[in-house]
Each structure stands twice: as structure tokens, then as C-alpha cells.
Structure 1
């Protein structure tokens, strides 16, 4: 599956290079910061796997849609949206590194250091916010250039706007939970997973491909539901990899969710057990903890069988995904890609 996605990434990158090269000409006329900004957005975007954009390609092909410029544009817009969200996410999470390289806002912080700016950290944050915002605007500029029938174009523009706002609202929820001691329920966390990750990672690209192929409302809705389930599995696996994965493979520091006080299912299940609850309160949300505290949390997770509980939930979701795939009015051969996507999601290591 990933071999096809490498080819899709090449096409998306080729389009983004041309699109951003044109933007650079115009941005240079505004001020001296435009050239650097465009180079940073392109460099940042090119480092990702571009799975979301690839899913637009694959879903379009699955429904017999020719891979034309509209498919490439829609895919590129989604990848630009993803990059912008990550640029802002790094600021909110105070992450200095992503994919083994300095985050964008931290690069600006270092610029501030070199120029002896007062409050160079705040300068970096502010500049990073601006770059992320511009990325959002460019996302919708790309979509505005679609040459599909107006009904398709309008549907995609509305879909992207709606899902983008959902992600923003879910991000607010995530931040609130990180600061708050309010008691939360499993449904609260699943809702967060759904709108912060699942829908825009899987529902949006899969349904976008079906929209471009002018599929029925039933098929589009079915793909949205399938995407939600795939996305929930994706996030649960992501949480697990953040605790037990290999940093060299994931590119994410082990235990960072603990330091940031992220309210995950692992967190919820740990705190449901009264044993060591007070000790856990001192660990979660504490950026100063080290490997010893992280190892302690890992041992508690194993002791209380939490990995097994998560695995059982993933297995339930797997059954739901298989049912949604089965109900789609497409051939077994076309469904094979969705089966493969489900398997990839279940077995991924990064």
C-alpha cells in the first residue's frame, strides 16, 4: 500500500512546489519575510508521509475517478491543512522537535536569539502562529481553484471548512483537559479523538475522493463512518506508541503525553484505579519528569492490564470497520484497498 502512496506524494509535492513558487513571487512583493515563509512551509510539508493526501488519490481511483488536476489539488490542500495544524500544535505543546528536526516556531525563536530580540520565545510563537494561519488561507486558495462542477467544488469547500473548525474546537478541548482537573468520562476522550484526529485524518480524505467521483450521499456518509472508526483505531495506536514505541521510528519522545498531561484512554484507565492515584497526579502534566517516572507509569499500565483493555476496544472497532466496508456498494477488488488500510492501521509502528 505504501508504495502507491510514495508515488502520490511525488505528485502532491510537485504541485505544491509549483503553487508555492508562484506564491513566493507575490509574497516577496509584500515584505522580506515571504521567501523564508514559503520555503519553510514547503520544507515542513515535504517531511510528512502525506497519507491523507494519498487517501484522496486512492478513494478517487476506487470509484473510477481519473487522477486529474482536481484530485491533486484536493490532496495538496489537505496536506497543507495538515502542516498548518501541526505548526500550531507544536506551539501549543511546546515541542521543539518534530520528525527529528527543529519545529518551525522554534526556528523563529532562534532567529530572535540571534538578533537579540527581547522575549525571543514569544517572538517565535507569534511568528509560528502567523505561518500556520497563512497555511490555512493557502489551503482554501487551492480549493478555490478547482475546476469541478460548482456543486462539487462547493461541497468540498464546505466540507473542508466544517472539518477544520471541528479540529480547532477539539484542540481547545484537548488544551482544556491538559490544564483541568475536571473528571472526564470515556465518551469525552473518544469525542476528542473523533474530532481532533479521526475525521480529518480518514473521513475527510476518503469522502473527498468519493465527492470528486460524484458518488451518492449514501457512499459518502458510509466512508465518513468508516473513517471515524479507522481514526479512532489510529489514535489509540498512536497513544500506545507514545508510551511504548521506539523513538527512532516514531520520531516522538516516549512519555511526552505524560509530561503534557494528555487525557488519553491510558490516562483514564490508570486513574480509575485508586492505587497510586496521588503519585500519578504528581507525574502527569509535569514537564520535569524523566525516564524513571515514565517507566513507573509503563509498569502500572502493564500491572493493571490496561494494554489489554485498549486492545479489546480496538478489536471492537475493527469489527465495525469491516462491517462498514462490507456495506459499501463496490466490488470486492475495490474493497481490498480498504481492507489493507485497516490492516496497516492495526499493525503500524510509527
Structure 2
């Protein structure tokens, strides 16, 4: 793998900005009210008007997120400084590339939606749900940094240390903050849906999708956490990727946009197929980067997955193709909490000998082809936008 960052967030931003034909990134310029028709009429969107509307809708979504977090912190003031700190630390983790809101907005606009008041809060809800997943995932992994910065847990520990609380006394408070901060973000996602101007039926259908996202992601996390207790061949990495990542990252955001736009069953089915395929491809590439990526570029350790013994497709392919001597090397090093870079290099050599990285790339290519086929069934410019996203991701997965 090259050292290029291949997170789905990075690729989605490039696919919707100057490095792809979809226009510049969004800036906060307007509140989420009114429609996106302006002087463009009610006819089908052109490529250019789609890009313009997506930028405007992203700006509105950023505004909704900002206002939700500001109002939450203001309301929390009656609870005292620790509650305000929790909201502040949560707000510091929200934002970034907004890939999940982008997918909701793209589906909505591409399938005929125009009402900012209906879609912006729902798009913002996708980002808060994502934040909750990150906060809780870091808690499960005992991580206190993300992409080189302190996460919610890390910020809490730093504040406690400054006040003279450290060690095991601080651990309880750090873990509680991460748990409760993630809970706040989940609740906030549902709160944002309630604030949408969509019809009650549409809000109910979107709420059901968010419930689906949480339940499926929890199932994926359970399988991921329990995976190291099983032999590599006894875990289905593609299923874990679909449950833990694809559903809440791609499938549900696209489905929510389609629901609000009143899309037909065929379009919703194509979006479901696209989202599942792209999300699985993303997770498979992420697993490759977890072993072969450059941490300075990816922001992710190249040792943690191996130390954990994470049951990825990469590891399964290595075991499947390994000779007995290489199986012994994998058994010796994978899953060691004290694994060194030298030990990791031995594992990487085994993986290369068994052609495990190539097998994973072939699986990524298969899933991206499936995504492209689904995108081709959708109306332009939505289909083109999603096709460009898959193509951009393929370039960075090579």
C-alpha cells in the first residue's frame, strides 16, 4: 500500500471538491431555511447546480451542528463546569469532512429534494451519530488520541492532570466521560431529526434508520471485539465490515436522504447496494492501512491491529496461504500486546509471501465494481457523483 491516506472521509471530500468535478468545499454561510431552487427552476438538476446545491446544503448542515452544540453547552451550564466541559470536548470532536452528511445531502438533492429545513438537521444527525461511534470505539480500544489530537477521553485526562488527578483515580472519570459523551451524541442525533421540518412520517422513517444504524454497529463492534478470541478462519471479516462500518457510514445516510426525497423503491435499493459495497471496501482498505500504512499519513498506528490480533480479511488470507513455518511465525507474533516493530515486520513479510495484501485488494476491487454498477442505476447527477466517489476511492486503494 502507498502511504496516501485512504479514509472514506478524505476521499469523499476530494470527490466533492476541486480534485474531482464536483466543486469547492462548503463554508458556513446560511441557516437551514428555505429551498434550494433559487433561479435554477424546478427542472432536473444539472451537474453544476447539483454541486452548488450540495455546497449550500453542507453550509446549512454545519450551521445546524454548530447551533446544536452551542445550545447544548449553554443548557448544560446549570449542571456546573464538568457538564459544560463534556459538551465542549464533544464539540471539539464534531466536524471534519462530513462525509456522512454529504451522502445524505447528495441522495436527497439527486432524487429531487430541495428543502433545507427538512434535510440539514437529518444530515447533521449523521455526523453526531458518527461522533458517538468514534468516542465509544476509542473507549473500547483504550485510545485517547485520534489523528494526532486528544480525543474526548484524552482531553478529559489532560484536564484532570492539570487539576492534580491522575493514575487510577483519573481512569474512572476518563472512561465515564467517554461513555457519557458518546451517549450525548447519540441522543443529539435523534434530537436533530426531531427538529427537521420533514413530515411526521418521514421523521419516523428516518428515526428507524438511525435505530438500525446503532443496532447494526453495536453488533459489528461485538463481533470485532470478540474476534481475537476465535481463530482467524472462524471470523467473517466482510460481515464485520458491513455491520460495524458500512451500514452507519454509507447505507443509512444514503437511505435517510432518499426517504426525505420520497424516492422510489428501486432507487432506494440501488443506494442500499451502493452503500454496503462502498462501506465494506472502505473497511478493507482501512484494515490494510492498519498494517501497511504510514502512521504519519494515516494518523493510525501500524502496530495496534497486530497487537490486538484483529481478525481482518488481511490476516485470514495470510493464514489461509501460509506454510506451516509461516503459520508458526504468525502465531508467535500476532496478538502480542508487546509486539515490536521488528516483530511486525516479520508478520508483514509473511503476509507478502502469502500474497494476502493482493487478495484484499482484489476484494476491494470487487466491492467497488458492485458499487459502480449500483451507481449506474441512479439518475444523473447523483449517479455520477457516487460513481466518482467509488473511482476516487479505487485510485487511493491501489
TM-score (norm 1): 0.92
- Find the counterpart in structure 2 of residue 40 from structure 1: 89
- Find the counterpart in structure 2 of residue 231 from structure 1: 279
Unpaired segments of 5 or more residues in structure 2? 1-14, 18-22, 27-54
Displacement after TM superposition at 1:109 (Å): 2.8
Q: Secondary structure at the match of 1:232?
A: helix
Structure 2 counterparts to residues 319-330 of structure 1, below 5 A: 319-328=369-378, 330=379
- Find the counterpart in structure 1 of residue 34 from structure 2: none
Change (3 A) 1:288 1:183: closer
CA–CA distance in structure 2, aligned partners of residues 337 and 116 of structure 1: 50
Change (3 A) 1:64 1:5: farther
Unpaired segments of 5 or more residues in structure 1? none
Change (3 A) 1:67 1:346: farther
- Give deviations 1:224-248, integer Å, cap 9, x for gaps: 1111011111111111122222222
Structure 2 counterparts to residues 122-141 of structure 1, below 5 A: 122-141=172-191
Structure 2 counterparts to residues 70-89 of structure 1, below 5 A: 70-89=118-137
Structure 2 counterparts to residues 53-64 of structure 1, below 5 A: 53-64=101-112
Displacement after TM superposition at 1:173 (Å): 1.1
Q: Does 1:65 align with 2:113?
A: yes
TM-score (norm 2): 0.81
Q: Does 1:6 align with 2:22?
A: no
Displacement after TM superposition at 1:5 (Å): 7.4
Displacement after TM superposition at 1:303 (Å): 1.2
Are the equivalent residues in 2 in contact too, given 1:202–1:228 (CA < 8 A)? yes
- Give deviations 1:99-139, integer Å, cap 9, x for gaps: 11122212223334443365322321122111111111111
Runs ≥4 in structure 1, deviation > 4 angstroms? none
Q: Secondary structure at the match of 1:275?
A: helix
Q: Does 1:240 align with 2:254?
A: no
Q: Does 1:280 align with 2:330?
A: yes
- Find the counterpart in structure 2 of residue 264 from structure 1: 312
Are the equivalent residues in 2 in contact too, given 1:5–1:54 (CA < 8 A)? no
Residue correspondences, number: 345
- Find the counterpart in structure 2 of residue 17 from structure 1: 66
Bigger CA drift: 141-150 or 59-68?
59-68
Q: Does 1:28 align with 2:42?
A: no
CA–CA distance in structure 2, aligned partners of residues 53 and 5 of structure 1: 16
Q: Secondary structure at the match of 1:205?
A: helix
RMSD between aligned residues = 2.0
- Find the counterpart in structure 2 of residue 100 from structure 1: 148
Are the equivalent residues in 1 in contact too, given 2:16–2:25 (CA < 8 A)? yes
CA–CA distance in structure 1, aligned partners of residues 68 and 382 of structure 2: 32
Structure (1/2) with the larger helix percentage: 1
Displacement after TM superposition at 1:345 (Å): 2.0
Q: Does 1:161 align with 2:211?
A: yes
Displacement after TM superposition at 1:282 (Å): 3.2
CA–CA distance in structure 2, aligned partners of residues 196 and 146 of structure 1: 27
- Give deviations 1:178-198, integer Å, cap 9, x for gaps: 3x0345446x21111001001
Bigger CA drift: 57-66 or 316-325?
316-325
Displacement after TM superposition at 1:325 (Å): 2.1
Displacement after TM superposition at 1:53 (Å): 1.1
CA–CA distance in structure 2, aligned partners of residues 195 and 87 of structure 1: 18
CA–CA distance in structure 2, aligned partners of residues 5 and 200 of structure 1: 26
